Amino acid sequence: MRLVPVNSIKEGSLLAKTLYNGSGIPLLREGHPLNKKLLDRAVSNGVHSLYIHDEYSKEIIEDVISPDLRQKAIQTLKNNFTDIHRVVKSSSKYKNKKNNKIDSAISKITYIAKEFVDNILSQDDLIINLVDIKTMDDYTYQHCVNVAVLSIVLGIELNYDRKVLESMAIGALLHDFGKVFIPKEILLKPGKLTESEMEAIQKHPYLGYDYLKSNLQINHIALSIILEHHEKSNGSGYPNKLSSNRISPYAKVVSVCDVYDALTSNRPYREAMSPNEAIELLMGSCGQDFDLSIVKSFIRRIVPYPIGTMVELSNRQRAIIKELNPEYVLRPVVDVVIEDEETISFKKLDLMDHMNVVIKHLAGN
Ligand SMILES: [Fe+2]
């Protein structure tokens, strides 16, 4: 199977992975032949690439958590955040009062975090396929799930133990919890924000932290993530302008994953960046926004194009990723596809030895 941009999928191609909407309902089932109507429907749901069966690549690209768990998590976040919103909207006293509904919502989210860690620790080969499929609806919840998954995998690379990973996952799932206290008109404003609106949004880390710090399920690791995920290495972040050595290492991990996932997602106001562009941007922001050591660990585990992905090279040839290069993730060994009318053959090419050739993007079919 391979991942192909929707606009270049040929009619009749077979879908290789069931596509769900954000509520966990299958939009298209695995094995279904694709036609123009279905492809249009995928695009209108904000899906820009799909896995299809093809003759070149027999590799199976697996998600690092099971599709069922992913859907369950998105649904749990959605239901519980909706409940929390209701409580916050209906009562102005929510801040100083313990609320059972919110407590039970948090305990369900905490449980999901534990399931994530169990699920991910049970995998042998932990390389995340970053060319993930996202639908536009429920972006917020999908984003939280992605940030949690990326953070756990990065935490494993950094040798954190299970307890720490669980706390990080809770922090990652709840990193933007404080946004429930920010007026929707500001959060969803399509245009440019005024200075006072920007200030209001920048309060979300502290508001989330302040509300959750009395909740027993949330320990100091998760709290540090909620409070410090927008701090930057050079001290220019918010809310406390902390310098690098004072920022929680766990918040630093989640911050890289948060930015990466946001950059590679389609948003109403901009198109998603390709994985190479996002990785280059992360690398370029080291020292300023992020620590180099964390970004280096990130790209060791979380590769832009996993084995089996078909890409287009700058010389217009198509190639399949064959071997990863952990030090230079954008320069793997590939099999270039050589096609004539009757036959298909492959020619091995190590992109480390051909610096003039670069991966441009995912290939169409
Ligand atoms: Fe945030």
Residue 284 Cα to ligand 1 middle (Å): 21
Phi and psi at residue 306, in whole multiples of 5°? -75, 170
pLDDT in tens, 276-323: 788 889 989 998 999 999 999 998 877 777 777 788 999 999 998 888
Residue 31 Cα to ligand 1 middle (Å): 38
1-54 is classed CATH 3.40.50.620:
no
Residue 66 Cα to ligand 1 middle (Å): 26
Q: Quote the tokens at residue 85.
A: 């919103």
Angle at which helix 275-284 crosses helix 249-263, to 10 degrees, equals 140
pLDDT in tens, 107-158: 999 999 999 999 888 876 666 655 555 555 567 888 898 899 999 999 999 9
Neighbours of ion ligand 1 (CB under 5 A): 176
CATH assignment of 67-303, among 1.10.760.10, 1.10.3720.10, 1.10.15.40, 1.10.3210.10:
1.10.3210.10
Cα gap 133→309, rounded to integer Å: 14
Residue 127 Cα to ligand 1 middle (Å): 25
Residue 262 Cα to ligand 1 middle (Å): 11
Residue 75 Cα to ligand 1 middle (Å): 20
Question: Is the C-alpha dihedral spanning 286, 159, 250, 101 positive or negative?
Answer: positive
- Name the β-bridge partners of 20: 26
Cα gap 28→17, rounded to integer Å: 9
Tell me the pTM.
0.79
Query: Under a CB-based contact definition with an 8 Å cutoff, are residues 221 and 250 in contact?
Result: yes
pLDDT value at 230 more than 90: yes
pLDDT value at 227 more than 60: yes
pLDDT in tens, 74-99: 888 888 888 887 887 776 655 556 67
Residue 128 Cα to ligand 1 middle (Å): 23
Cα gap 204→288, rounded to integer Å: 22
Burial status of residue 33 (CB atoms within 10 A of its CB: 0-12, 13-18, 19 or more): exposed
pLDDT at 58: 57
Residue 175 Cα to ligand 1 middle (Å): 6
Residue 255 Cα to ligand 1 middle (Å): 9
Give the residue-averaged pLDDT of 350-354: 94
Q: DSSP secondary-structure letter at 161?
A: -
Angle at which helix 100-121 crosses helix 139-157, to 10 degrees, equals 50
